Chains A and B, each alone.
Chain A
Amino acid sequence: MELIYSLAIGVFFACGVWLLLRPRTFQVILGLALLSYATNLFIFAMGRLTLDRPPLIDPNVVADASLYDDPIPQALVLTAIVIGFATTALFLVMLIASRGFTGTDHVDGVEKGE
């Protein structure tokens, strides 16, 4: 599981970085979205990958840390997702505004060679 998980994160990162460096605003925003997916998965993995373990303590079961999953990375991921979502939406608005002002979707506002 660890191997597949880390490969998935790596592929997301690689695609994200490549798209981020592209000249079109739409590619940049997709790149940022992929990077944020990769980051969120990464944070999640930092709580260790476990199966069938709840993050909340059950009062009827013995309080033993090995029976539970770490809830903090999950909370961090939730926050990161919300913030990432909001800022991506804001970036999308700027992308459209830039398209409206310049008439092109190049990140510099001018086509190459113009």
Chain B
Amino acid sequence: MSTLLRHLPVLPIVLPLISGALLLFLPQTRTVLRSSIALLTTLAQVAIAAYLVYRLIYPQPGLLEHGVEVYALGGWIAPYGIVLVVDRLSALMLALNAAIALPVLVYSLASWDRIGVHYHSMLQFLLMGLNGAFLTGDLFNLFVFFEILLSASYGLLLHGSNSVRVKAGLHYVAVNLTGSLIFLIGVALIYGVAGTLNMADLGVQWAAMAPNDRSLFEAGVGILGIAFLIKAGIWPLNFWLPTTYTAASPPVAAMFAIMTKVGVYSLLRMGSLLAVPETPAPFAGPWLFYGTVATMWFGIVGMLAAKQLTRLVAFSVIASSGTLLAVVALGVTSAIAPVLLYLIASVPAGTAFFLIAGMTERLRVNAVTETMAPQPTTYTAFMAGEPHEVGDNELDEVGVAIPAALAFLGMAFVSCTVLTTGLPPLVGFIAKFSMISALLGAAMDQSSMDAWLLIVSLLAAGFAGLFAFTKRGMRSFWSTGATTPRLRFIEAMPVAFLILLSVAMTVLAGPVMSYLDLAAEWLHEPSFYIRAVLPTREVLP
């Protein structure tokens, strides 16, 4: 047992890898077996992530006493070997990832996993990539995990392929392949100057770097930052995002809601480690600030213009990415913990919204069968044969109608709107309120125009979201001719779970906030992280 506990940090990567590979070999007809394997693996990931968070809150002797646990793969110590690092932020991201993966998986069991091949494997590989990206303490491994999650996302985007998905997928893949190459160039430049790719070691090297090396290193970090900003969906690098998210099938889009946050996480992490003596351009400062404020306004205009619910949610994802990074860029230390709260409040809401969108599509029954019907081309192309059941066309026959289906959808829609726009009483409000209060403090003290600009943008994003979602909701639920959709329990439950999760976060806002405060403090004080990864190295302040 204690051996297993010591190897806990690597399990979120190894488990989905094994189960995803295993699922490749099971025939498509073994639906129950396949679903149970996928479900069990995801449940295990939830348990592991929850335990890692628990262990950080109640540290045990010998483990995680300093709030950072380092797992040296193969026993090779950093900076020579590759390490996985669990601190409060990465444990939080792992938990968030697992907490949205579980409902997405359950939702897709209703029918979506059978409209194409290998859905479960690709979802597990996506989870592996995400978990790995949150855990790794090495830049090149970050690249590898990015590639794993992107490859899985290419497959998932095309899942149940039709011409819309292939067209959006073509652009998505082209943009992300270019982004990966930019990532590699940045990594190569950084290695060329610093001679290491261990993130903690980079922090040490950067603090002590000779002046004539600095400019080249900054160029490398800048190029790397561009790659992260593409992933995070920051204007003007985000034109691929709304089309892609709209084209993807609902559970896939729901899972994609966290993918922009990988970019945000990487920026936060690198920015924190390179903070001494001065954070390079793409990770902080005016450069990032004005870009992200522009992103917020891009999201606002997009939300107001969007006609489809999925497109609207995609633009709200962009706006939330912009919000997160704008506050980080402004460098108000007291606003970091509220930003993290906003992160864990907005991601489940976005996920739930995409799932709801999948169900409200059914209000227009005819449109569903036309646009969503899977086309057989890809099955023959992969010589995989037709899946054993094509769920989409049968949705109207199978499933027991929940009597209050429309009422449930309406309530879920309202809750998600409240969460996303930051209205009381849910956790979105607490997050936005504490963010604005911290920003107001900064605006008053330093009389900074930037803080005022950000407050105005934040409020505008809230208003625009409220207006757009209300308009969209009225059209979906109150329009004449809307039929009562037939929901299956298995589809309604995940949405309810995500909303209950937000309610739980609202009730437990105090403990959650104290955890996030510590996470923010650790981000602000990277020497904890560096000392844990490189215990023998002389740490510069």
Contact = CB atoms under 8 A, between A and B. Distances in A.
A and B part of one assembly:
yes
Interface of A: 20, 25, 28, 32, 35-36, 39, 42-43, 45-47, 72-73, 76, 79-80, 83-84, 86-88, 90-91, 93-98, 100-102, 107-109
Given A36-B181, A87-B177, A97 B147 contact: no
Contact of A102 (B154, B167, B378): B167
B187 interface: yes
Interface of B: 140, 144, 147, 150-151, 154-155, 158, 161-163, 166-167, 169-171, 173-174, 177-178, 180-181, 184-185, 187-189, 191-192, 197, 375, 377-378, 381
A83 B174 contact: no
Given A28-B174, A101-B377, A87 B188 contact: no
A108 B144 contact: no
Contacts of A83: 144, 147, 180
Contact of B161 (A80, A87, A88, A97): A97
Contacts of B177: 32, 87-88, 91
B140 A86 contact: no
Nearest to A28: B174
A48 B183 CA distance: 20
A20 B178 contact: yes
Instruction: Rank and list the top 3 A-B pairs by shortest CB-CB distance, nearest first.
Output: A46-B192, A101-B163, A43-B188
B188 A76 contact: yes
Nearest to A32: B177
Contacts of B381: 93, 96-97
Contacts of B154: 87, 90, 94
A90 B144 contact: no
A75 B381 CA distance: 34
B151 A87 contact: yes
A94 B192 contact: no
Contact of B181 (A39, A90, A109): A39
A39 B185 contact: yes
B140 A73 contact: no
Contact of B191 (A20, A76, A79, A80): A76
B174 A80 contact: no
Given A72-B191, A76-B188, A100-B377, 15 more contacts: A35-B181, A39-B184, A42-B188, A43-B187, A43-B191, A45-B188, A90-B154, A95-B170, A97-B161, A98-B167, A98-B170, A101-B163, A107-B170, A107-B174, A108-B167
Contacts of B184: 39, 42-43, 80
A47 B197 CA distance: 13
Contact of B173 (A84, A91, A96, A108): A91
Contacts of B140: 76, 79
A24 B171 CA distance: 12
Contacts of B187: 43, 76
Given A20-B178, A32-B177, A46-B189, A98 B151 contact: no
A94 to B, nearest CB: 6
Contacts of B178: 20, 32, 35
Contacts of A20: 174, 178
Contacts of B375: 101
A84 to B, nearest CB: 8
B185 A97 contact: no
A32 B178 CA distance: 7
Contacts of A72: 191, 197
Contact of A97 (B155, B197, B377): B377
11 contacts: A32-B178, A39-B184, A43-B191, A76-B140, A76-B187, A84-B180, A87-B154, A87-B173, A90-B151, A94-B166, A109-B170
B174 A97 contact: no
Contacts of B173: 87, 90-91, 94
B325 to A, nearest CB: 26
A84 B143 CA distance: 12
Contacts of A108: 167
